[in-house]
Chain A
């Protein structure tokens, strides 16, 4: 198992290296425009462009340029030029808000997705299953940019029980933190609740036909034991994979729309701003930040998967 984890971590480092090279190539090498000009921004003075050219060493070889870029990324010297601020500072500032949003939403969607999926599966074909299927499909079908305004209209404008956006740090006021996040959480979670409940339901219906479920019944387990220990346990394995990937993707980007609608000052909002103003340094920084979390979650999924399904572990030791 230790060996398995070590291999996965090495793999993770390799993927991150590849991603950083791609970021370098896409932003620095491929565009026809002078990269210093792009970095400096639309309204930069010729002097600033000249300075950046020297600072980034754009007259050097490409590998040297790559190393310079990576050095800047790791030492926090990747800087946006109007206003002049280190990109890493802005990302670090945005992380509490983004993580509050994504982790909370993920907990909600995982809990309700699995609950609805489980109830649907054990009552497959019954009226409860039909209602839950309808609810799930509705959840999957509603786009975030429609759901969010409707929620804001109902709960913030009409009922006035929840604020319509913005972020209050947990350290300042936990109650306000919670109140401000409820609507964004729901907005971000609804689609996944529907999706996860459908996936779990269909996995469980497949697993129910497995021979080992019949064995579990034959040895005298109660229906609930059969369902939770055998059917649910085995059906969760693919769901966990999905969850890891989705969670990584949410941190890395899906949260952008929600952050923008609710005016939450997180990393997503920063990325949206940067794209709107076409500021290259923040775009590069956020791309690397996003890639890091996607790859990290992938690695965690692999490790958890091996823990949940012993056959994966065997495959690893046997082949290497």
Chain B
């Protein structure tokens, strides 16, 4: 195994609000190795986006408390000052955001916005050289008529093309790490597949290590090597793509898998869902935060188990559930497939 490129250790991010401290991320650890795709999956409010934005320093604010460690190679990012952080952004770590409609400034030409990203790190880049580079990038991400379209404004691009332009901008300085925060959520399904294909291609061709944030396990199945499932600020299960899909250990993961609509299975009489909604981070239940929504809750669940490997043959597959692997294998079968039954 190669050295990790990016190493997150016990990351905790809290925001002071009038009602109290919201602990959005609560002890997240993971490594990202070169050319690996790590997916972070969870519902809204699970802390996945905050984790991603904290890595690149976008959650820094007066009311934010950031603890733990994020190391990019030898550089500690949580304690880097703003100027150091700025030099890393775009140059070593780049980010692609969820909504390509609003993530470009509407009043500047797309090409100019990408040249701006290049010149942020290479101020001596000429306008012409910058523009040539943008044409190259547009071609690399599959934007047709690149030569002509660099002078377009964001509103002249479709959503999918805008997301391609966003990715082109992220690639501008050839970063080592790409963080894609829900890159396909705002797009049509057919376009989603194209964008995921592009991310996978870049990962393969450029060995671009990628953190993919999403709520959609279908997206994960397309591109991820490893998966972290987050719930209420904590990782509740992590493992390789196959481990998560074929041998999921945490009932929340079963619920996520069960909520996927699949064309290769008989049509259910109603779409499966996980009952209830995520808990408020200000009033977490005692013990396992998934307990109120979990049909398999039992006496031990008032204490929250640690993230541990519970399967003898796969030490990297870890989860936070008290059930034994045998119990899990029995309980996760719902109507012949993995799912989470409705609560009693």
Contacts and interface: CB of A to CB of B under 8 A. Distances in A.
Contacts, number: 77
Contacts of A308: 107
B89 A219 contact: yes
B107 A233 contact: yes
B91 interface: yes
Contacts of B97: 211, 214-215, 218
Interface residues of B, number: 30
A210 B99 CA distance: 11
Interface string A219-248: 111110100011001100100000000000
B87 A219 contact: no
B90 A219 contact: yes
A225 B90 CA distance: 15
Interface in B74-115: 82, 86-91, 94-95, 97, 99, 102-107
B153 A310 contact: yes
Contact of B89 (A220, A225, A230): A220
Interface in B284-301: none
Contacts of B173: 220
B187 interface: no
Interface string A307-320: 01111001000000
B89 A217 contact: yes
A314 B156 contact: yes
B121 A220 contact: yes
A222 B86 contact: yes
A218 B106 contact: no
Interface band, chain A: 20 to 34
Nearest to A213: B105
Contacts of B90: 218-220
B117 A219 contact: yes
B157 to A, nearest CB: 12
A212 B102 contact: yes
A1 to B, nearest CB: 13
Chain A at the B interface: SS class: helix
Interface in A176-214: 210-212, 214
B169 interface: yes
Interface in B315-336: none
B95 A218 contact: yes
B107 A219 contact: no
A202 B341 CA distance: 50
A179 B60 CA distance: 50
A233 B105 CA distance: 10
Interface string B161-178: 000001001001100000
B107 A217 contact: no
B86 to A, nearest CB: 5
A215 B103 contact: yes
B311 interface: no
A272 to B, nearest CB: 42
Contacts of B172: 219
B252 to A, nearest CB: 29
Contacts of B116: 216, 219, 221, 229
Contacts of A212: 102-106
A310 B106 contact: yes
Closest 9 pairs (CB-CB, A-B): A220-B90, A219-B117, A220-B89, A211-B102, A220-B120, A212-B105, A219-B90, A218-B95, A310-B153
